[in-house]
Amino acid sequence: MRQEQILVRTDKLTKLVAVYDQFHEAIAQLDDPAARRLVENWAEIRHRYVEPVGAPRSAFASGMEQGLRETPMLLRSIHREGRKLAAQALAVATSAHYPDFLQKDAERLFKIKARGSIRGENEYYLVRHHVDLLEEDPTQSEELKLLCSLVGKFEARGK
């Protein structure tokens, strides 16, 4: 007799809560005031996303997804070594619970590299976040050089 596997579909909001839970658990280990503030903030608001009231789950998921896109900007306030660990923790948590998000970012990054320029602040933070992830990986030196060049060109335009 063959056992049937039950496929449990997890909605986007549940995936995002799991990402944030794992990420904040990881950065709670950092000795950094900015990381502590992020952890404390998540602890205060988490219940709003676990048991959302007043709007559809999809609206809460949309807001959390935007927050996930902006999290690399928040990581800039963490000291350099802690920022690297936090960026890695974010990537690990996202990969574990919401890999579709990473696929979308990879597609956006591919378009930026193909065009050879960063068009706005959101793209800048996406590329900057990937620079943080690649800085410790010697096998990615060419990719790192390309991304740093894009960041440098974008920053030079703003001056």
Residue 84 in domain = yes
Residue 7 in domain = no
Predicted confidence (pLDDT) per residue in 106-130, tens digit: 999 999 999 999 999 889 988 988 8
Rounded Cα distance, 88 and 94, in Å: 10
Q: Mean pLDDT score of the chain, rounded to an integer?
A: 90
Question: Residue 3 above 70 pLDDT?
Answer: no
Residue 5 in domain = no
Residue 43 in domain = yes
What pLDDT score does 6 carry? 43
How many structural domains comprise the chain? 1
Residue 4 in domain = no
Rounded Cα distance, 20 and 62, in Å: 14
Residue 97 in domain = yes
What pLDDT score does 18 carry? 97
What pLDDT score does 7 carry? 40
Residue 53 domain boundaries: 12-158
What pLDDT score does 1 carry? 46
Residue 140 in domain = yes
